Each structure stands twice: as C-alpha cells, then as structure tokens.
Structure 1
Amino acid sequence: MRTYAIGDLQGCAHEAQLLIERIHDDALEHGQPLPRILFVGDLINRGPDSLTALRRMKALSDADPDRVDALLGNHDLHLIAVAVGAQRASRSDTLGEILAAPDCEALIDWLRRRPLAMFVDAHLLVHAGVAPQWSAAQTMALAHEVETTLRGDGWIDFLRQMYGNEPDRWSDDLTGIARLRCIVNALTRVRLCTADGRMDFLHKESEVGPEGSGLLPWFDLPQRRTADVTVVFGHWSALGLVLRPNLIGLDSGCVWGGKLTAVCLDDRKLLQVDCPEYREHGGKK
C-alpha cells in the first residue's frame, strides 16, 4: 500500500476533500489500491470550516483506521484543552462551531486518542519536529508516554499543566509534568533551536532566527540523532514545501493563501491544491 502524507489543514475542509479525491483518482488511474493517507496534524483552527474538517477526518479514520489517521498538532491540542476548560480560547480561534456541535464530545474523544508520532516505512512523522537528542526509536517511545497520558484517566489534569516553555532542553532525567511538557513542545511546537539543542519558542514567523541569535532550524542541528531516517513534519508555513533526502516539510500555508500539499512517501510524488487566502499572513500560527 502506497502512503501519502498531507500537511496542515487548519480547517480548510474543501481543499482537503479535493486533495483526497485527487489522491484516490491518481490511484485508480494507475490501477493501484487506495493508498494510506496520514495527516501531520493541525486539522483545525484559523480556517473556514474546522467542524467539517474534523468530522470528515474522524469519519474516514473510523471507517478504515489502518488507512487513514492523523497526528496531534498544537492547534488540535489547543482545541482539546479549550473544550474541557483547561485553556482559554484565543481571539484568533475559529473553534466555536466545534465547541457548540452536538457531537463535540465524540470529536474531542477521537482527537485526544490520535498519536503524536508515527513511524512508517523508514519515515518518522511528527507535527513540528524532534529534539536533537532523540533517536527515532526514542521519539516514538516518548510520544507514547504522552499518548498514554492523554488516553488515561488524568488527561484533563495533564492539559491544565501542559502549557509553558520550560524545560526548553531535553534531558533523560526529566520526570513528571516537566518531562511530558518538554515532549509535547518538541513534537508540536518547536521550530528553532540553539546550537546546543535548546528549543526557542519566541520566534515564529520566519524561516530563520534573528541575525546574531545563533538559532537554527531543529533539523539543521549537526548532532540531530534522527538524521538516519526521513522526518516528515508540518507546522512551519514560513518554510513552505521542503523536500530533502531525509526531510519532508509539508506546511505549504493552505490557510494563508498557499497550497495544501500531499507527498507520496514511496516515490516523492507531489499533489497540491491551491487555496484562497482565508487568513492574512502575519497572524500567529
């Protein structure tokens, strides 16, 4: 089965449907079975139709969980936290229809059971990035720690303590909420790091850190231990599409008037859908 990874939807339900149809049509045209489709997170928020996007992804996954799944992104976690009162909504959120929907509880329950990382055919899929100290195997194990918490009885208490920028550097000695927060921040928020692997969360809107800051994209740190696999990620619309031998960046700015992108992990075949400018660029992502 071929596998496609799709970048951040952010509530662009119409464009997601068009892209899924293109993937299916391409498979049928070449006499191939329907491929696996994996979304790298941020299914919702900022775009025009988050409720439809979330309902459709849940329906597709429920119908064929081995073929369709989605990672948790920072916006997805934000929705879960807002829905249970663990975090306040932001003025820029477009989550009202989900929160008022009669099936909100079922949607939140499905969403909180999504993975934070996947490993598929030598590809490591995450929403934002990985701490440079982690191997692919350690990334999967640490993601599982958070997944277990989100699916357990104490998940709401965890969400209340999840927010914060510290600790900003991974250590195997971390325990408790500090450990879980650091894992979540790496997998769903990181973009830039210092040379020694400390995560920066202040600079969000550019491809690089300010001049003289010494900040580098997490994937350009020379000591990154996941360099031996191909990492697939989203979250960073300022980068646009990134295709390197061991790196695939899929956030091509759908909600900002860019494109929604799918890449086949088997042969790097690229499928894209143009998107209207639903939000003016410069809003925090």
Structure 2
Amino acid sequence: MATYAIGDIQGCFDPFMRLLEKLRFRPDRDKLWLAGDMVHRGHDSLSTLRFLYKHRAQVTAVLGNHDLHLLALAHGAKSLTDKERDLAKVLRAKDADKLLHWLQKQPLVVHKKGFTMVHAGIPPMWSVTKAVELSREVHQALSDDAMAKAYFYGMYGNEPHCWNDHLVGVERLRSITNYFTRMRFCKEDGTLDLVTKRGADAGHDGYRPWFSHKRRKTRNDKILFGHWAALEGRADTPNVYALDTGCVWGGYLTAMRLSDEKFFCTDCGL
C-alpha cells in the first residue's frame, strides 16, 4: 500500500489520470492526498470531482482557494463569469449536490502520518497544533448551513492583513482562510502580502516566502503544500514540499510518495 500526495489538479482530469496510471494507483490498496485546488481553470472539473467522490474512502484532501470559490458560487455568494464554464458544468450537473456536499466537508489542514498538508502554507507564528485548531474553526463553520452561507458571503478580501487572536466572526474566518489558502509572502509576524505572486526571490521589505522565516514554528515539521506554481516545485527548505508544478499552465502534475518522499510527475499537455 502506498500514499501519494498530489499538487493542484485544477480540473486537469486527463493529466490526473495519466499520473495515476504512471503511479500504478490501485484504489483497493493505495491512498491519495490532495493539496487543494482540485477544480477550476482546467477543462474537466466535473470528472475530477466525480472520480474523487467515487474513491472518497481512499482520498484525503484539503480545500484550496479555487475549491472554496466553487462552493461560494454554489451558495450564491458570487456569480459565474463567462470564463468559468468549467465550474458551470459542475453546478448544473445532476449529481452536483452530493459532489459539493463532499467537497465542503473537507478541512483546510490535515496532520497525520508525520506530515501536515495545507493548500498554501502555515504562517511563521503558528505551530502545527495551532494550525489544526484554527482549521477546525472554519471546518465547523462549513458544517452549519447558516454559518456556511455567512462565511462564503464574507470570505473574499485581503483584510485583515495580520493575524490577531482577538478577531471574531467572519473576519476571523476570512483571516484563517487567507493564510491557509492564499498566502505566499508574509513577514515574520504574519503580515500578509496577498498581491505578489512571482517566485520566491520576489520578497521585499521584510516580506519573505512563508517557509523561509528562520524562526518559523513549523521548521521541524514536514509540510506538504500546493498553490504556488511559480516555485516550480522547489521550496529549497528542509521539510517543506512544494507540490504545485503548474499543470494548468502547461507544466506538470506532481505526486510525492510519502513513504520514501520520491517524486513522480507527468506532462500536462492537454
């Protein structure tokens, strides 16, 4: 039995199937960990979700910003744009309710088997224990219909720029969500730059990649993350594994086998 952690699929269903074939993945034996952004921008988010739902007993997933956007659309918090035809197919599918219900049940952080998986990262001032606790707050909100609706309507926005333990309500949930699903650059105290999206060398004025702060509380923990395609799979930091290698942009889809930390990839020409 093997467990494979896979970066952002983003609806690239055919490359996903090719990667599983390369891994010789067997759902009766192997497990999949998905680092978020399972949907959006690719050509077949619906088939991707259907496959994951069918094999949900073998799947461990965290939510990414694009997954949350799909759920926000489903809750009426945002309107579809002309460029979101792939997501429209999901929302209009006969089995949309069960697929989206499954998606909404996924957490923002998973910690087991000696690894912690999150879509974007964990800011320097939070330990893994703290991250799991805060992830649970959002998970609980998503488990309640009224709270979930308020959450999605208030989810969008870059503020507050820095964490404060005294934050409450939707503002608190938005802050947690931004760290776990949108963060790239931040200061040591967690102040976020949610605008800069280039590679790790684009840091400025004390803003550094979240994983490069020397006093980061998770520096001794193994962290799997996606989200940052510009890294091209290279965080160059011990215990930090960047899994988003830009499949949707014509790059690669990457998997890491947890048992020996070996990487596998497949070309994402569509």
Pairwise TM-score range, normalised by the shorter structure: over 0.9
Report the residue type matching 1:272 in the other structure. Answer: C
Query: 1:240 aligned to 2:235?
Result: no
In 1, Cα distance between equivalents of 2:2 and 2:13:
23
Query: 1:121 aligned to 2:113?
Result: yes
In 1, Cα distance between equivalents of 2:88 and 2:55:
23
**Alpha-carbon deviations, 1:17-60, whole Å to 9, x = none?**
121222235x89xxxx8222111010111011111111111111
2:192 alignment partner, one of 185, 196, 199: 199
In 2, Cα distance between equivalents of 1:215 and 1:121:
31
Q: Which runs of 5+ in 2 are unaligned?
A: none
**Alpha-carbon deviations, 1:87-128, whole Å to 9, x = none?**
233454331211221111221111100111111222110000
Query: 1:137 aligned to 2:129?
Result: yes
Query: 1:188 aligned to 2:195?
Result: no
In 1, Cα distance between equivalents of 2:201 and 2:176:
22
The 8 Å contact of residues 192 and 208 in structure 1, kept in 2 or not, is answered as no
In 2, Cα distance between equivalents of 1:128 and 1:44:
15
Aligned residue in 2 for 1:49: 44
The 8 Å contact of residues 197 and 221 in structure 1, kept in 2 or not, is answered as no
Secondary structure in structure 1 of the residue aligned to 2:229? coil
2:91 alignment partner, one of 99, 122, 137: 99
Deviation at 1:196, TM superposition (A): 3.2
In 1, Cα distance between equivalents of 2:229 and 2:131:
23
Aligned residue in 2 for 1:281: none
The 8 Å contact of residues 183 and 192 in structure 2, kept in 1 or not, is answered as yes
The 8 Å contact of residues 119 and 226 in structure 2, kept in 1 or not, is answered as yes
Aligned residue in 1 for 2:23: 23
Secondary structure in structure 2 of the residue aligned to 1:208? helix
In 2, Cα distance between equivalents of 1:89 and 1:203:
25
Task: Tell me which moved more, 45-54 or 169-178.
Answer: 169-178
In 2, Cα distance between equivalents of 1:179 and 1:12:
32
In 2, Cα distance between equivalents of 1:186 and 1:208:
20
The 8 Å contact of residues 24 and 35 in structure 1, kept in 2 or not, is answered as no
**Alpha-carbon deviations, 1:125-173, whole Å to 9, x = none?**
0000112111001111110110111011221121101111111212222
- TM-score for the superposition, normalised by structure 1: 0.88
In 2, Cα distance between equivalents of 1:265 and 1:177:
35
Query: 1:78 aligned to 2:69?
Result: yes
* Identity score, percent: 41
Q: Which runs of 5+ in 1 are unaligned?
A: 279-285
- TM-score for the superposition, normalised by structure 2: 0.93
In 2, Cα distance between equivalents of 1:53 and 1:153:
25
Aligned residue in 2 for 1:257: 250
Query: 1:68 aligned to 2:63?
Result: no
The 8 Å contact of residues 133 and 170 in structure 1, kept in 2 or not, is answered as no
Cα distance change of structure 1 residues 90 and 208 upon mapping to structure 2, 3 Å threshold = farther
Query: 1:208 aligned to 2:201?
Result: yes
1:36 alignment partner, one of 8, 31, 55: 31
Secondary structure in structure 2 of the residue aligned to 1:238? helix
Report the residue type matching 1:95 in the other structure. Answer: L
Moved over 6 A (4+): none
In 1, Cα distance between equivalents of 2:65 and 2:182:
6
Query: 1:149 aligned to 2:121?
Result: no
The 8 Å contact of residues 9 and 254 in structure 1, kept in 2 or not, is answered as yes
Aligned residue in 2 for 1:168: 161
Report the residue type matching 2:59 in the other structure. Answer: V
